[in-house]
Amino acid sequence: MAAARVRSGGRPTLEEVAARAGVGRGTASRVINGSPRVSAQTREAVEAAVAELGYVPNRAARALAGNRTDAIALVVPESETRFFAEPYFSDIVRGVGAALADTEMQLLLTLAGNDRERRRLAQYLTAHRVDGVLLVSVHADDPLPDLLEQLGMPSVISGRRHAAETLPSVDSDNFEGARAAVDHFISRGRRTIATITGRLDVYGAQRRLDGYRKAVASAGLDPDERLIAPADFSEEGGARAMRELLARRPDVDAVFAASDVMAAGARHVLRESGRRIPDDVALIGFDDSAVARHMDPPLTSVRQPIEEMGRVMASVLLQEIAHRSEGRTEERPRIVLPTELVVRESS
């Protein structure tokens, strides 16, 4: 074995596999890449040679000759700290990883929290070091998506930047999630239902508000604008919004917060004001994060299928890449995954 290794000068090459199988290089390549234009007999011979030699294709050579990299990037415009802190990302990574598990595709995790990293990243992508890009947690004014589109780089975005998103996207059903939350309040007899919104320049936050409005209107409730308090997804913002709400409509009996973290802020203020949850005011959040489960009382929340979003994003991207190289184009799938209301004690 050692001798053979020395003789062949290291790892076996395609050429060696071909020689061993008694075929030409081209044929061996065809077998390894699963081309159908090979006879069964030849295929077997090559496969045997591959097994005996323990052949593994040289990635660099493949990339160079085939003008691809077999790698995709998951671009996260956050610092390491946030990346590790938010369970959202770990779920996405898990989903993406699952979708890629039996693929040759390699996942590159690229965090770009500061400007320096973002510049490096842009260079990376323009240099075509990956075959495609998964974009998560994109801010509305991020130039990256447009850059990618311009470059013709296959990309998939989680969520959307706006209603007319041009990139293929995978989103959860924010509208229906919000509506379900409000309907749940209504079915339990709540009548003065307020909402605390996220930053409305984030499309998802807008949709949650739309869902709230729709549900309120459908139920024939009073669509009082004073029941809508804008915030910014932060705990402090949630608290502030809740205070406004209480000042404007002290008779509020239910609050739908567009994130669990904001719900936590709201809870704090409600407690301070002497109101009991859910007896006096019912509360629902969004995300179904760890925060929701550990809140006191446990928070009813709208769950997004984040891991599945990761899985779907990856498979959409793989398709995009395949289509692109086949010349096909212009499909731009937009996938919306269902959300689910997880009922706990707060409502």
Partner DNA sequence: ACACTTCTTGGGAGCGCTCCCAACCCTACG
Partner DNA sequence: CGTAGGGTTGGGAGCGCTCCCAAGAAGTGT
Given the rule CB under 8 A, which residues bind a second copy?
A: 11, 56, 58-61, 63-64, 69, 80-81, 83-84, 87, 89-90, 93-94, 97, 106, 108-109, 111, 123, 126-129
Instruction: Select 64 or 85, whichever has its Cβ closest to DNA.
Output: 64
Instruction: Select 59 or 162, whichever has its Cβ closest to DNA.
Output: 59
- Tell whether residue 13 is a contact of DNA (CB under 7 A): yes
| Neighbour count for residue 119 (Cβ, 10 Å) | 11
Lookup: tokens for 37: 């234009």
Distance of closest approach, residue 96 Cβ to a second copy, in angstroms = 10
- Tell whether residue 10 is a contact of DNA (CB under 7 A): yes
The entry of a second copy, DNA, none near residue 27 (CB within 5 to 8 angstroms by kind) is: DNA
Q: Are strands 106-111 and 193-197 parallel, antiparallel or unpaired?
A: unpaired
Going by C-alpha positions, the residue among 155, 98, 89 that lies closest to residue 332 is 155
- Tell whether residue 57 is a contact of DNA (CB under 7 A): yes
The entry of DNA, a second copy, none near residue 33 (CB within 5 to 8 angstroms by kind) is: DNA
Distance of closest approach, residue 346 Cβ to DNA, in angstroms = 56
8-state DSSP, 127: T
Of positions 20, 50, 53, 62, contacts DNA by CB under 7 A: 62
Going by C-alpha positions, the residue among 184, 281, 271, 194 that lies closest to residue 231 is 194
Q: For 323, phi and psi rounded to 5 degrees?
A: -60, -45
| Neighbour count for residue 5 (Cβ, 10 Å) | 13
d(CA 200, CA 206): 5
Residue pair 273/341 in contact by the 8 Å Cβ criterion? no
Of positions 4, 34, 52, 64, contacts DNA by CB under 7 A: 64
Of positions 6, 7, 34, 37, contacts DNA by CB under 7 A: 37
- Tell whether residue 11 is a contact of DNA (CB under 7 A): yes
Of positions 5, 6, 7, 24, contacts DNA by CB under 7 A: 24
Distance of closest approach, residue 340 Cβ to a second copy, in angstroms = 21
Residue pair 159/310 in contact by the 8 Å Cβ criterion? no
Residue pair 69/40 in contact by the 8 Å Cβ criterion? no
Helix (H), strand (E) at residue 254: strand 254-257
Instruction: Select 49 or 170, whichever has its Cβ closest to DNA.
Output: 49
Instruction: Select 43 or 179, whichever has its Cβ closest to DNA.
Output: 43
d(CA 287, CA 88): 9
Distance of closest approach, residue 83 Cβ to a second copy, in angstroms = 8
Distance of closest approach, residue 54 Cβ to DNA, in angstroms = 12
d(CA 309, CA 203): 17
Of positions 66, 87, 152, 333, contacts DNA by CB under 7 A: 66
- Tell whether residue 150 is a contact of DNA (CB under 7 A): no
Answer left, alpha or beta for residue 211, where phi above 0 means left and psi between -120 and 50 means alpha.
alpha
Distance of closest approach, residue 68 Cβ to a second copy, in angstroms = 9
Taking CB under 7 A as the binding criterion, the range among 19-27, 112-120, 163-171, 226-234 that sits at the site for DNA is: 19-27
Distance of closest approach, residue 102 Cβ to DNA, in angstroms = 18
8-state DSSP, 345: T
Residue pair 173/339 in contact by the 8 Å Cβ criterion? yes
d(CA 282, CA 339): 20
Residues of the shown chain interacting with DNA in the complex, contacts defined by CB under 7 A: 10-11, 13-15, 22-27, 29-30, 32-33, 36-39, 41-42, 55, 57-58, 61-62, 64-67
